[in-house]
């Protein structure tokens, strides 16, 4: 049901719900995944980091302070870094109350739990390995969880259609590509045009901030082929207003990452 609602016409940028439908539900929670599904959006983006005891969890900031009640619950543990807490401790935090009382009780998902929910909803995942420099080996950890949850055991086409792993860390993506070449990868940033061919050896997407998107840059990316022999794609972030959505669509991007997927969808439907 979700897939049928996603704009799929050739030339219409894919709309991806950033941290889930994060304007309408607390970011990076299962509630934000479900909210995107109910709004008809198949693709969700998330951020993956690692706990002190090696569990992968879905949270954006390097610390838990902004999006959980960690300061009240663990007052002596400043600066409340994700990597200084165990998975069991993080599982007790409220990751929804900061967004609004109706969301109190939402949890910081484990990556495994997040994948199950995305799968159950029939959705697709743009998974960001966040701050890989802080978490040596997180690429293999991520692939291990994906494999354990059955995401890597499927045929290549199916894998390509439902998972992209992206990061600001080029070395991280090189590792993911080397360890599991079937996984589609996306580099977050806008490398100079001269450096694009080197990236095309191990990434399938160049995903720049919308401030870096011009028709010329998008065309330069799309002229190249990635490691799977398909042309490189461009997914841009974080576009939350109609005028910006129309501008990047006119520049030729393949996807738009947004906190407000409904706003972007409407903007593209009524140019
Ligand atoms: O999906 C791209 C975008 O999420 C990158 O920035 O800080 O929101 O993770 P950030
Ligand atoms: Ca992100």
- Domain of 43, CATH number, reads 3.20.20.190
Asked if residue 67 is part of any domain, the answer here is no
CA of 64 to the centre of ligand 1 (A): 17
Q: Give the C-alpha separation, 266 to 271, whole Å.
A: 9
Chain segment 43-53, per-residue pLDDT in tens: 999 999 999 99
Higher-pLDDT residue of 126 and 157 is 126
pLDDT for the residue numbered 270: 60
- Residues 179, 184, 188, 194, Cα dihedral to 10°: 90
Q: Domain range holding 234?
A: 2-61+109-269
Mean pLDDT, residues 83-105 taken together:
98
Number of domains in the chain: 1
Residue 104 lies in a domain: no
What is the value of pTM for the model shown?
A: 0.95
Residue 73 lies in a domain: no
What's the rounded Cα separation, in Å, for the pair 153 and 155? Answer: 7
Q: State pLDDT tens for residues 217-269.
A: 999 999 999 999 999 999 999 999 999 999 999 999 999 999 999 999 999 99
SS3 259: coil
User: Interface pTM (ipTM) of the complex?
Assistant: 0.99
For range 121-148, the mean pLDDT: 98
Query: What is the per-residue pLDDT for 175?
Result: 98
**Residue 74 maps to a domain:** no
- Is residue 79 reached through a cis peptide bond, with omega within 30 degrees of 0 on the bond before it? yes
- CA 240 – CA 243 distance, rounded (Å): 9
- Cβ–ligand 1 distance for 61 under 6 Å, the answer no
Please indicate whether residue 235 is annotated as part of the active site.
no
Backbone angles phi, psi at 15, to 5 degrees: -105, 125
Asked if 108 and 98 count as a contact pair (C-beta separation under 8 A), the reply is: no
Q: Which among 10, 60, 180, 235 is annotated as catalytic?
A: 60
In a domain, 93, yes or no: no
188 within ligand 1 shell (Cβ under 6 A): yes
Q: Regarding predicted confidence, which is higher, 6 or 33? A: 33
Closest Cα to atom 2, ligand 1: which residue? 237
- Has residue 222 been placed in a domain? yes
Residue 94 lies in a domain: no
Give me the pLDDT at residue 263, please: 98
Query: In whole numbers, what is the pLDDT of the chain averaged over residues?
Result: 95
The answer, yes or no, to whether residue 188 has pLDDT greater than 80, is: yes
Among residues 20, 2, 9, the alpha carbon closest in space to that of 268 is found at: 9
pLDDT band at 9, cuts 50/70/90? Answer: very low
Distance 178 CA to ligand 1 centre (A): 24
Compute the average pLDDT of residues 115-144.
98
Q: Report which protein residue has its CA nearest ligand 1's atom 7.
A: 60
pLDDT at 158: 86
Question: Among this protein's residues, is 228 annotated catalytic?
Answer: no
Strands annotated E in the chain:
14-17, 43-50, 56-58, 124-129, 163-167, 184-188, 205-207, 233-236, 255-258
159 vs 244 pLDDT, higher one: 244
257 CB within 6 A, ligand 1: yes
The answer to whether position 100 is within a domain reads no
């Amino acid at each position: 049901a979700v897939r049928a609602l996603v704009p799929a016409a050739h030339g219409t940028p894919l709309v991806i719900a950033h941290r889930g439908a994060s304007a309408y539900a607390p970011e990076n929670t299962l509630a934000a995944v479900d909210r995107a599904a109910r709004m008809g959006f198949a693709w969700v983006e998330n951020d993956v980091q690692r706990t002190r005891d090696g569990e992968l969890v879905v949270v954006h900031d390097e610390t838990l302070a902004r999006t959980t009640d960690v300061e009240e619950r663990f007052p002596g543990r400043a600066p409340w870094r994700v990597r200084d807490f165990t998975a069991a401790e993080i599982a007790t935090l409220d990751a929804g109350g900061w967004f609004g009382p109706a969301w109190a009780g939402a949890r910081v998902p484990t990556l495994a739990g997040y994948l199950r929910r995305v799968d159950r909803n029939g959705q697709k995942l743009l998974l960001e390995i966040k701050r890989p420099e802080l978490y040596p080996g997180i690429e293999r950890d991520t692939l291990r969880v994906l494999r354990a949850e059955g995401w890597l055991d499927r045929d290549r086409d199916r894998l390509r259609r439902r998972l992209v792993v992206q990061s600001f860390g080029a070395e991280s993506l090189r590792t993911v590509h080397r360890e599991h070449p079937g996984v589609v990868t996306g580099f977050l940033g806008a490398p100079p045009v001269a450096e694009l061919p080197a990236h095309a050896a191990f990434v399938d997407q160049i995903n720049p901030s919308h401030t870096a998107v011009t028709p010329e840059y998008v065309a330069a990316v799309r002229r190249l082929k990635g490691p799977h022999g398909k042309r490189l794609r461009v997914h841009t972030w974080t576009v939350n207003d109609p005028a910006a959505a129309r501008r990047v669509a006119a520049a030729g991007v393949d996807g738009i990452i947004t906190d407000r997927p409904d706003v972007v969808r409407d903007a593209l439907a009524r140019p």
